[in-house]
């Protein structure tokens, strides 16, 4: 993979080359092919989470017609839901065709970024050297850094351990006794993909998940041909999928609708559980004790068949300890294993990149947030001029495609950069009042959602108990709010003022 050279100065520096970073850079380059933009990526290729999360069975639970850029349709998806390999290939194609690949410096990790108020620019340190940037866009994603549970004895284990996001493809699982920790969105995909290989699989389930069928299907060759010849046909499908997904918002966010929508979904999920899990004891373990939609609904057609096999043991407990050759449940029972695979998720409410970005007072973004991220439009933070976030606080979705939200943010940020250029501004910083007003409007809406009122603990809630992850209403409202840069909510400094500061 060829790589751009790290410059000494760039106008717009984008950190991360996943969906967010590619979408941001592509938006700027589509408007101006000569735009002064560079992307730095700590990996050796573009793709972000779809490059890293290459575990067996990895796929998307949002139809690809919607889980793709509106400006870069792909007519040749093999199925309605893209696999990891297909999505990764798609992102590589988009990055190449839009010129993003040529603007990306690979194997280049952000180490520190400090705002210099006198110069009106960011002083950036990376693993490949230092540079300055007028505008910094953090597009490192919410699901980029895996997390491991703090369990006594992990360092004693003599077998093989890895996280699903760091899959060890060199380790042969054939005939091995394997412990899987976690039953979330990753495990529900890789467990069915490996269960035929292993000698025995011990599954640690701290919390049961609601599981619904995945309505996937092969896309026929004539349909692909139609999409290639008549792109409007695929856009129509995209619009239909978008509209259908938006209907879920009512059940998730509107209290009046939960009274009848949520029970319907739960009845459907319970009927699937009863049909596919005959053992009443196991079925009781697998039935959640919270309202459906409170956490992410998992989509799978082979999860229950995989974990009801005689060579699978479901432990209704979190992992409490590890010995040299075994894992231990909350009752002290030991299960001898050769390998441990962690499907234990990421750190969306405490993104590691926030520890490396310092604003006007020298405080890091992590220190400013203090465990509870917030931003204006999920994109700008007071005290951090010329910093924009992709997939920032309260932009995640429980029902639709995050790509839609990322495109909305990219449009907003591009307009901010355009505004700075046309008005000859050296910096823009969202006011504290605007950021507070925005979030004070979000919080009451979030309080009424199923995520806050559904009786579950989830990664949507930060360590202060605030839902700093989810967007609480229809996605078109976010797009409407980000259709233009609202300069009236920012303090702007003219270029001359900054130079003379």
Contacts of 274 (CB under 8 A, 6+ apart): 283
pLDDT-derived band at 495 (thresholds 50, 70, 90) equals confident
In this prediction, residue 103 carries a pLDDT of: 98
For the chain, the average pLDDT equals 95
Residue 498 has pLDDT above 60, yes or no: no
Report the 10 Å Cβ neighbour count for 267.
Answer: 10
Q: What is the mean pLDDT of residues 69-90?
A: 97
Q: What is the pTM of this model?
A: 0.95
Residue 12 has pLDDT above 80, yes or no: yes
In this prediction, residue 497 carries a pLDDT of: 59
Share of the chain above pLDDT 90, in %: 88
* Strand 177-181 with 104-105, pairing: unpaired
Q: What is the mean pLDDT of residues 304-314?
A: 97
In this prediction, residue 242 carries a pLDDT of: 97
In this prediction, residue 255 carries a pLDDT of: 85
Burial class of residue 290 (count of CB atoms within 10 Å of its CB; 0-12, 13-18, 19+) = middle
Residue 490 has pLDDT above 50, yes or no: yes
Q: What is the mean pLDDT of residues 318-326?
A: 96
Contacts of 94 (CB under 8 A, 6+ apart): 22, 26, 69, 72, 100
Q: What is the mean pLDDT of residues 430-440?
A: 98
In this prediction, residue 349 carries a pLDDT of: 67
Distances (CA, A) of 362 to 231, 326, 354, 367, 384: 50, 46, 13, 10, 10
Q: Are 18 and 41 in contact (CB under 8 A)?
A: no
- In the chain the domains, ranked by start, together with CATH numbers, are 9-145+347-499 (3.50.50.60), 154-215+240-342 (3.50.50.60)
Residue 391 has pLDDT above 90, yes or no: yes
| Lowest mean per-residue pLDDT among 152-156, 350-354, 426-430 | 350-354
Residue 367 has pLDDT above 50, yes or no: yes
Report the 10 Å Cβ neighbour count for 383.
Answer: 17
Q: What is the mean pLDDT of residues 403-428?
A: 98
Residue 21 to residue 93: CA distance in whole angstroms: 14
Residue 1 has pLDDT above 70, yes or no: no
Q: What is the mean pLDDT of residues 79-107?
A: 98
Q: What is the mean pLDDT of residues 145-172?
A: 93
Residue 2 has pLDDT above 60, yes or no: no
Strand partners of residue 494: 425
In this prediction, residue 144 carries a pLDDT of: 66
Contacts of 477 (CB under 8 A, 6+ apart): none
pLDDT-derived band at 499 (thresholds 50, 70, 90) equals very low
Residue 500 has pLDDT above 60, yes or no: no
In this prediction, residue 337 carries a pLDDT of: 98
Contacts of 222 (CB under 8 A, 6+ apart): none
Q: Are 74 and 88 in contact (CB under 8 A)?
A: no
Strand partners of residue 339: 160, 178
| Lowest mean per-residue pLDDT among 148-162, 433-447, 453-467 | 453-467
Q: What is the mean pLDDT of residues 201-229?
A: 96
Residue 7 to residue 299: CA distance in whole angstroms: 44
The three-state secondary structure class of 285 is: helix
Residue 473 has pLDDT above 60, yes or no: yes
Query: 164 or 458: which carries more pLDDT confidence?
Result: 164
Q: What is the mean pLDDT of residues 112-123?
A: 96
| Residue owning tokens 């110069």 | 119
The tens digit of pLDDT for each residue in 246-298 reads 999 998 988 887 888 999 999 999 999 999 999 999 999 999 999 999 999 99
Q: Where are the alpha helices (DSSP H) in 98-196?
A: 187-194
| φ, ψ for residue 433, nearest 5 deg | -65, -40
DSSP per residue over 112-140, as a string? EEEEETTTTEEEEEETTEEEEEEEEEE--
In this prediction, residue 501 carries a pLDDT of: 45
pLDDT-derived band at 489 (thresholds 50, 70, 90) equals very high
Share of the chain above pLDDT 70, in %: 97
């Amino acid at each position: 993979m060829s790589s751009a050279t790290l410059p000494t100065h760039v106008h717009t520096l984008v950190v991360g080359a996943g969906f967010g970073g590619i979408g941001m850079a592509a938006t700027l380059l589509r408007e101006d092919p000569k735009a002064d933009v560079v992307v730095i990526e700590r990996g050796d290729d573009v793709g972000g989470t779809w490059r890293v999360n290459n575990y067996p069975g990895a796929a998307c639970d949002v139809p690809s017609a919607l889980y793709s850029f509106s400006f870069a349709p792909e007519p040749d998806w093999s199925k309605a839901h893209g696999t990891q390999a297909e999505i990764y290939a798609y992102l590589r194609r988009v990055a190449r065709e839009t010129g993003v690949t040529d603007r990306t410096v690979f194997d280049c990790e952000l180490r520190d970024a400090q705002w210099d108020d006198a110069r009106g620019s960011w002083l950036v340190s990376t693993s490949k050297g230092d540079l300055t940037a007028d505008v910094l866009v953090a597009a490192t994603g919410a699901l980029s850094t895996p997390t491991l549970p703090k369990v006594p004895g992990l360092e004693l284990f003599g077998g093989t351990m890895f996280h699903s996001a760091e899959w060890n493809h060199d380790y042969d699982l054939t005939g091995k006794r394997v412990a899987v920790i976690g039953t979330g969105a990753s495990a529900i995909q890789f467990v069915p993909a490996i269960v035929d290989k292993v000698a025995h699989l011990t599954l640690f389930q701290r919390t049961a998940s609601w599981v619904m069928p995945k309505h996937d299907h092969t896309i026929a060759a004539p349909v692909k041909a139609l999409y290639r010849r008549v792109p409007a046909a695929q856009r129509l499908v995209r619009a239909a999928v978008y509209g259908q997904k938006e209907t879920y918002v009512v059940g998730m966010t509107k209290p009046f609708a939960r009274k009848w929508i949520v029970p319907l979904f739960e009845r459907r999920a319970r009927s699937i559980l009863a049909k596919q899990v005959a053992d009443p004891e196991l079925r009781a373990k697998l039935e959640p004790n919270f309202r459906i939609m409170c956490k992410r609904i998992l989509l799978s057609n082979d999860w229950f068949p995989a974990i009801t096999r005689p060579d699978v043991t479901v432990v209704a407990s979190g992992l409490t300890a590890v010995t040299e050759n075994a894992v231990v449940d909350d009752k002290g029972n030991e299960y001898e294993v050769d390998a441990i695979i962690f499907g234990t998720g990421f750190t969306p409410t405490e993104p590691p990149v926030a520890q490396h970005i310092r604003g006007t007072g020298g405080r890091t973004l992590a220190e400013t947030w203090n465990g509870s991220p917030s931003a204006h439009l999920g994109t700008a933070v007071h005290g951090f001029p010329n910093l924009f976030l992709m997939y920032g606080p309260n932009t995640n979705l429980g029902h639709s495609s995050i790509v839609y939200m990322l495109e909305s943010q990219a449009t907003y940020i591009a307009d901010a950069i355009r505004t700075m250029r046309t008005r000859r501004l050296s910096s823009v910083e969202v006011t504290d009042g605007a950021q507070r007003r925005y979030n004070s409007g979000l919080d009451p809406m979030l309080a009424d959602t199923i995520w806050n009122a559904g009786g579950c603990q989830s990664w949507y809630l930060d360590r202060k108990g605030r839902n700093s992850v989810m967007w609480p209403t229809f996605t078109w409202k976010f797009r409407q709010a980000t259709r233009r840069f609202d300069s009236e909510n920012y303090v702007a400094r003219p270029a001359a003022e900054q130079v003379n500061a």
